[in-house]
Amino acid sequence: MNNNRVKNIKKTLLSDNYYTLNKFKFDYQMSDGSWVNQMREVYERGHGAGILLYNTTKKTVVLIKQFRMPTFLHDNKNGFLIEIPAGLLDEDNPEQCVIRETEEEVGIRLKSVKKVYEGYSSPGVLTEKMHFFVGEYTDDMKVSEGGGLESETEDIEVLEMPFTEAVRMLEKGEIVDTRTIVLLQYAQIHKLVE
């Protein structure tokens, strides 16, 4: 941390039940040179990786559907979201993570993946950086039904659908996960599935 416009950082642990939530108080120098005291809560949950799986022969993509409590508490009536397969890095590098998560969540054992982006998920409150991948799959890569890990109480529905249907769902607001939006738009721009 090398920014002389930030000083006197004080950190207070608020929660470490699942991930870590800290409160930071600090002095920040404004653009006009004046100093102000600020406070931010920062959620530290580690970095993640996600992937859009596509099949050029069948012109399909594989997405997942799972329950997301924060969306249910806000405005998502049933709490289910359609998303890309994704997970936290844990001790893996991003490529290893996305290959592992793909097999756990959708039952496809990938041979290779391509990293296309990385970026902060919600930089105002999260430390998480997301690594975005695309990967081509074929039917012979299917090694299980997927569905996630029982030990993580995952309950994942695997959705293989025409790419055009995924784009239609995106345009109608039926896909609202930003990670999924980013990769579907990447696939459109780069014409991965035509």
Q: Any idea where the domains of the chain sit in the sequence?
A: 6-44, 48-189
The string of pLDDT tens digits covering residues 7-23 is 999 999 999 998 999 99
The string of pLDDT tens digits covering residues 122-148 is 999 999 999 999 999 999 999 998 988
What is the average pLDDT value for the chain, to the nearest integer?
A: 94
Tokens matching residue 88: 């936290």
**Residue 61, pLDDT above cutoff 80:** yes
Tokens matching residue 157: 């529905």
In one letter, which amino acid is 119?
Answer: G
Contact yes or no for 53/60 (Cβ under 8 A): no
Task: Identify the pLDDT of residue 118.
Answer: 96
The string of pLDDT tens digits covering residues 62-99 is 999 999 999 999 999 999 999 999 999 988 899 999 99
Cα gap 26→37, rounded to integer Å: 6
Q: Which CATH superfamily is domain 48-189 in?
A: Nucleoside Triphosphate Pyrophosphohydrolase (3.90.79.10)
Task: Identify the pLDDT of residue 1.
Answer: 61
| Percent of residues, the chain, with pLDDT higher than 90 | 89
Task: Identify the pLDDT of residue 91.
Answer: 83
